Structure 1
Amino acid sequence: MSETSEPGSGHRSAGGLGDPSGGGPGDPSGGTVTTAVPARLDRLPWSRWHWMIVIGLGTVWILDGLEVTTVGNIASRLSEDGSGLDITSAQITGLAAALYVAGACAGALFFGWLTDRYGRKKLFMVTLAVYLAATAMTALSFDAWWFFLFRFLTGFGIGGEYAAINSAIDELIPSKYRGRVDLIINGSYWLGAVGGSLLSVVALNTAIFPKDLGWRLTFAMGVVLGLVILLVRRHVPESPRWQFIHGRGEHAEELVSSVEREVEREHGRTLPEPGPALTIHQRKSVGFGLIARTVFGTYPKRAVLGLSLFIGQAFLYNAITFGFGAILTTFFDVPSGNTGYYFAVIAAGNFLGPLALGKLFDTLGRRIMISSTYLLSGILLFGTAWLFDRGSLDATTMTACWCAVLFFASAGASSAYLTVSEIFPMETRAMAIAFFYAIGTAAGGISGPLIFADLTESGKVGDTVLAFQLGAGLMCLAGLVAAFLAVRAEQRSLEDIAKPLSAV
């Protein structure tokens, strides 16, 4: 029988830990522990501690946006004579983009498994280090094969980041704020995209940098920013939820108690009593077989929901972003050196979506917001395709249409990560994120660049219209799935949404 708190003993003792039957506190060999750590974390008011988590974990998406956007916008320069690489624009937007996404899928699965086994903190430090090293090597590219290799490895690190960081965010942020925080953090990718767009304008200016140097400096800038983030991230703690399940209950207790004291000092009041405690059977790891049975056997409808959301948003974004520069230069005669200005505008629209709509995911609820953002973005993209086919758009109005589409699509796409990170049991969280990200992104993110690069660069209006319609159709289908299957997870604890596999 595990220890529990005595009635009226105060909120910090509600997470009492012990294991007379298994070998002592913190032993991972099979003891039980009763803890109120999840309830204590969920009832915390917003504080400086939460801001530290947001900055330490969320800023890496800015790097991802900087990375992807920069490569897309400098594709035309890399393919020119004198760039230092023998590579074509189609290879960059097609093969290199597909390799980046393939690396992200592989990295998500590999590091996702390690994250559930060895903890969130270790892995979000390791994955950022992999990303930084691969980005630095990309800047030193001397041949196409080298560029392709390190694009894959850069994606490998980023994929691991998705699993480690999203699981850590959801387990550290109070349930009242979880939806909006998760959306805004994932949406911060587009702040990096704005920076990458503007940076590419400077890098492509041969009056400032030679052809073979400017694009290298854009990657170097990403490394510098990543090193700063690495320093901040050292202060982000391990997830107490992961700790108490994996035999480190005393560490979880100490961490949460210290955070409670810090928050009480900051707000000048005593925290309210937490919700009920949870009794779990500690375990060291969970096998792939149990994860698969849980995701597809226990929660088949949730599995369909996760796949639909990821595939829909992956195809919509590939339909627009991978051919963005080619569409502007081919159909609207925009100089390649100026496409970054246009992309900065739609990137800003992308970030405004989660920023403006994020709170509604916690108030109006997940089902109505997920389904409506997916459906609205799909319908608006159908409308954009119709206007483009009629010849009614120019570079400015096309960009305005994309802004409207992506305002809603960005919130929807970010909610896909939120959804799969909160609707499955804690022991499977990182692997669930990794699996759905990998499958959905492989379907839309590997085949997407290869399909859309040909369609948008063919110079035929009908081909580009088809690319838009394909992305819009899959987004609408995902929205209909969400209307029926989305889980009402707003302001509910993770343990209430999906009972831990280790729960007694």
Structure 2
Amino acid sequence: MSTDATTTSATRAQRLDRLPFTRQHGRLVVGSGLGWALDAMDVGLISFVMAALAVQWALTPTELSWIGSIGFVGMALGATLGGLLADRVGRRQVFALTLLVFGAATGAAALAWSVASLLVFRFLIGLGLGAELPVASTLVSEYAPARVRGRVVVALEAFWAVGWLLAALIGYLVVPRSDDGWRWALALGALPALYAVVVRRGLPESVRFLELRGRTEEAEAAVRRFESAAGVAPVPSVTPPPSPAPRPRALWAAGSRRRTAALWGVWFGINFGYYGAFIWLPTLLYTAGFDLVRASGYTLLITLAQLPGYAAAAVLVERWGRRPTLVVFLLGSAAGAAAFALATGDTAVLVTGMVLSFFNLGAWGAVYAVTPEVYPTALRATGAGAAAGFGRIASIAAPLCVPPLLAAGGNGLVFATFAAAFVLAAGAALALPERRGETLEEEPAPVAAARG
């Protein structure tokens, strides 16, 4: 262990920011990321389940669109409530509870006996999932050193691609193999219920949250645990006074109003384009003439392009910054969706789908990197949860919009609409603050100054 001790005092947040990336950081990212991957697996599975049920239950496009959308109704409510709870009872507690809720509901969905029962279970799944995602990114961002915080949060978000890839594998290998294949696929999604126990014991609580609640001994122990892993000697700490969590209306106070509006605009646009496209993708390929196995196989290949998209975003959020990376990847998503709308032939469908997948998931990595940085600690999880909750309105609407768009103009109109949503999100992203390299305690500079 280093003996480079100093008597200079520092806040615990500053002590965390001075550390290198250690094994403890890695455990936090992997521990949170595995839950994130299991979440993505669940969301991805429903796209393959829809394609199977369209055949087995002879469902109408409207019924399919509700199966695709009802989970996002739960996610909208869950994201908002989860953020509020995380700012009051803690990030770790809410994270574990949400994994338990959606894991159990996913297992129950495997036993669904009708469209109505499946809709109920999908709502409960969304309730747990919606609360988990912003809470996990908030927790990781509050431990990551400032100089690599964006990259670490994008690495966390990359677990989403791993989970969606698992869903694509299950969709390809399990769902088409028998009439009960979709039930076995959903049963596999119940694994998060078991993982919740591991999460509750293994992840640390946010130091910043603990300090705001006056739990300084727990906060000090958590910081020393990370310092010990880095071989850094502790220094005397300056403890900020405890403060109550602000009310949600603080998101629209004079100092936060513009940031909130911009963030909500980004979340709405990226949700509309992403979930509209990827929830329906296997079904759209099937209706375009692909058999179920081939449609699942193409979706699997398109999903693989998510991984390099995340890798590129992880590098660029620290080199270019959060805002320019987000804008470029959103515009790339728009280009990919527009190209997919015009694609004819198997090769063109595959290539343009991979372009869309690459840029869109890179944009997701950037949006999760920037979101926790928009608000102060006491409002951080509430703000992230509210933005995610507002975005879920778009994820509810997008799958419901697909049937009428298909009827009006086919796949071309569908993906042109998604391209427009990505362009609007890119415009909103220009009004976000740039926080690359700053500590979370610093007040963001005005956007006009940040651009200079």
Give yes or no for the alignment of 1:98 onto 2:69. yes
> Residue 400 of structure 2 is aligned with which of 447, 450, 464?
450
Distance across 2 between alignment mates of 1:12 and 1:228: 42
> Residue 495 of structure 1 is aligned with which of 426, 441, 444?
441
Give yes or no for the alignment of 1:71 onto 2:46. yes
Map of 1:184 onto structure 2: 155
> CA shift at 1:262, angstroms?
2.5
Asked whether the 8 Å contact 1:93–1:322 carries over to 2, the reply is no
> CA shift at 1:232, angstroms?
4.8
- For structure 2, list consecutive stretches of 5 or more residues without a partner in the other structure: 446-452
Map of 2:121 onto structure 1: 150
Map of 1:52 onto structure 2: 27
> CA shift at 1:12, angstroms?
8.4
Distance across 2 between alignment mates of 1:159 and 1:233: 18
Map of 2:322 onto structure 1: 366
Identical residues among aligned pairs (%):
26
TM-score normalised by structure 1 residue count: 0.82
Distance across 1 between alignment mates of 2:346 and 2:200: 40
> Residue 263 of structure 1 is aligned with which of 215, 230, 251?
230
Map of 1:168 onto structure 2: 139
> CA shift at 1:494, angstroms?
0.5
Give, as a single letter, the amino acid of the residue that structure 2 aligns with 1:104. Answer: M
> Residue 196 of structure 1 is aligned with which of 167, 173, 176?
167
- Cα gap change, 1:472 to 1:76, in 2 (>3 Å): closer
Asked whether the 8 Å contact 1:114–1:123 carries over to 2, the reply is yes
Distance across 2 between alignment mates of 1:301 and 1:278: 32
Paired residues, what number? 443
Residues 87-120 of structure 1: CA distance to partner in whole angstroms, max 9, x if unpaired?
Answer: 6163564102211000001011112111100011
Distance across 2 between alignment mates of 1:351 and 1:12: 45
> CA shift at 1:358, angstroms?
1.0
Distance across 2 between alignment mates of 1:394 and 1:226: 42
> Residue 375 of structure 1 is aligned with which of 304, 324, 331?
331
Map of 1:22 onto structure 2: none
SS in 2 for 1:74: helix
SS in 1 for 2:132: helix
Map of 1:61 onto structure 2: 36
Distance across 2 between alignment mates of 1:11 and 1:144: 65
Distance across 2 between alignment mates of 1:399 and 1:271: 53
Residues 188-220 of structure 1: CA distance to partner in whole angstroms, max 9, x if unpaired?
Answer: 2121111111212222344xxx41x32221122
SS in 2 for 1:455: helix
Residues 369-416 of structure 1: CA distance to partner in whole angstroms, max 9, x if unpaired?
Answer: 11111122213322332x33xxxx213321210211221121112322
Give yes or no for the alignment of 1:297 onto 2:254. yes
Which protein has the bigger helix share? 2
Distance across 2 between alignment mates of 1:12 and 1:341: 60
> CA shift at 1:294, angstroms?
4.2
Cα RMSD after superposing both structures: 2.5
Give, as a single letter, the amino acid of the residue that structure 2 aligns with 1:412. Answer: A
Residues 243-268 of structure 1: CA distance to partner in whole angstroms, max 9, x if unpaired?
Answer: 0111101210122113212221xxxx
Map of 1:286 onto structure 2: 246
Q: Which deviates more, 145-154 or 337-346?
A: 337-346
Distance across 2 between alignment mates of 1:217 and 1:159: 23
Distance across 2 between alignment mates of 1:329 and 1:87: 14
When Rg is computed on C-alpha atoms for both structures, the one with the higher figure is: 1
Alignment of 1:406-485 (within 5 A): 406-442=357-393, 444-456=394-406, 458=407, 462-483=409-430, 485=431
Give, as a single letter, the amino acid of the residue that structure 1 aligns with 2:226. Answer: V
Give, as a single letter, the amino acid of the residue that structure 2 aligns with 1:235. Answer: G
Asked whether the 8 Å contact 2:22–2:230 carries over to 1, the reply is yes
> Residue 292 of structure 2 is aligned with which of 330, 336, 348?
336
- Cα gap change, 1:76 to 1:243, in 2 (>3 Å): same
- Cα gap change, 1:287 to 1:367, in 2 (>3 Å): closer
- Cα gap change, 1:149 to 1:405, in 2 (>3 Å): same
